Amino acid sequence: MLDCTELGVRYDALPAVRGVTLGVPSARIVCVLGPNGAGKSSLLGAISGQVRPVAGSIRFDGEAIEMLPPHAITARGIAHVPEGRMLFGDLSLRENLLLGAHNAGSLARAADRLDATLDAFPMLRSRLDEPAGMLSGGQAQMLALARGLMAAPKLILLDEPSLGLSPKATADVFRLVAALPARGVAVLLVEQNVRRALAVSGYAYLMRNGLFQAQGPAAELMRDPMVQDAYFGDLHAGE
Ligand SMILES: Nc1ncnc2c1ncn2[C@@H]1O[C@H](COP(=O)(O)OP(=O)(O)O)[C@@H](O)[C@H]1O
Ligand SMILES: [Mg+2]
C-alpha cells in the first residue's frame, strides 16, 4: 500500500535520511526502530508531506505522493500523529478531535466519525468538554491517537507514541495500536521501545544515521543476537 524507494531527506547540508526503501502492506503494523537522531521523524515527515524529500519516490495505493502538500496526503488516507502529540491545550477534547476530521466534508460526517472513534476510547468520551491541557501524558497520547483516527486513515504514522509514558500508559497505547489492523488501519510505528514495538509489529526496520541497518520479520529480529546487542540495551539491564 505504501512504498518508499531510495528516499532522501536533508536539512541544508545535513543528510537526515539517506536512501531508504520501505514498504507497508494494508492493515499491517511495520515499525522503524533506532536511536535519537537516526532520521525516524524525518522519514515520517517526508511521507506525510511535512518535509519535501530531496531524492526517491513515495507511492501510496500506486499513486506518487512525494510532491503533494500535506492536506492532499491526508485526503488520500494517511494520518500523522507527530512526536510530542501537538495538542491544543486550551481547546476541549471534542474540539481537538474534530480538528482531526477536517477532511470529513460535513459536520454530520465529522460527528459520526467522533462517535465511532470514541467507542475505542471510553476515557475520552467521558471528558469531551474538558480542556486537553488537563490530561495526563498517557491520556494526551490517547487523544493524539484518536485525533489521528478522526481522519479515517488507511495508514497512520505514529511517532514515538510511548515516549515519556508510565509502564501502564505504555501498555494501554500498545494495546490500542495492536488493535488497529483489525479495524482496517495500517500502522507505520516509530519507536525507541524496541521490545514492545517488535511484539506488535509484523515487520521491522532498524535505522541509524539515516540508513536502514537491518530489516526483517519482527519475530526474527527479536531473536537476532546482533539486534539484541545493538538495540536491546534495556533488556540487558535486566528489565
Ligand atoms: N528541522 C530540522 N532542521 C535541521 N536539522 C534537523 C531538523 N529535524 C531534524 N534534524 C536533524 O536530522 C537528523 C535526524 O533527525 P530526526 O529525523 O528527528 O531523527 P529521530 O526522529 O530518529 O530522532 C538529526 O541529526 C537532527 O538533528
Ligand atoms: Mg524523532
Residues 163, 197 contacting (CB under 8 angstroms): no
User: How many other CB atoms are there within 10 angstroms of residue 28's CB atom?
Assistant: 18
Q: What share of the chain in percent tops pLDDT 70?
A: 97
Q: Is 13 in the pocket of ligand 1 (CB under 6 A)?
A: no
Q: How far is Cα 183 from Cα 76, in angstroms, rounded to an integer?
A: 17
pLDDT band with cut points at 50, 70 and 90 for residue 183: very high
Q: How far is Cα 55 from Cα 32, in angstroms, rounded to an integer?
A: 19
Q: Is 205 left (phi over 0), alpha (psi -120 to 50) or beta?
A: beta
Give SS3 for 230: helix
Q: Distance of CA 25 to CAs 140, 184, 201, Å?
A: 28, 11, 12
Q: Is 39 in the pocket of ligand 1 (CB under 6 A)?
A: yes
Mutating to test ligand 1, I would choose from 9, 12, 14 the residue with most ligand atoms within 8 A of its C-beta, which is 14
pLDDT digits (tens, 9 = 90+) for 190-225: 998 999 999 999 999 999 999 999 999 999 999 888
Instruction: Give pLDDT, residue 233.
Output: 62
CATH architecture under which domain 2-232 falls: 3-Layer(aba) Sandwich (3.40)
Between strands 155-159 and 55-60, the pairing is: unpaired
Q: How far is Cα 129 from Cα 189, in angstroms, rounded to an integer?
A: 30
Q: Is 38 in the pocket of ligand 1 (CB under 6 A)?
A: yes
- Among all ligands shown, which has an atom nearest to the Cα of 160? 2
Average pLDDT over residues 181-192: 96
Domain residue ranges in the chain = 2-232
Q: How far is Cα 161 from Cα 170, in angstroms, rounded to an integer?
A: 8
Q: Is 11 in the pocket of ligand 1 (CB under 6 A)?
A: yes
Average pLDDT over residues 21-34: 97
Residues 66, 53 contacting (CB under 8 angstroms): yes
Q: What is the pTM of this model?
A: 0.94
Q: What residue has cell string 546487542? A: 229
pLDDT digits (tens, 9 = 90+) for 59-81: 999 999 999 999 999 999 999 99
Q: Which sign does the torsion angle of CA 25, 77, 43, 137 carry?
A: negative
Nearest CA to ligand 1 atom 26: 37
Nearest CA to ligand 1 atom 24: 37
Q: Is 74 in the pocket of ligand 1 (CB under 6 A)?
A: no
Beta sheet of 2-11, edge-to-edge order: 14-24, 2-11, 55-60, 63-64
Q: How far is Cα 123 from Cα 140, in angstroms, rounded to an integer?
A: 11
pLDDT digits (tens, 9 = 90+) for 83-135: 887 889 999 999 999 999 988 888 899 999 999 999 989 899 999 999 999 99
Average confidence score pLDDT of the chain: 92
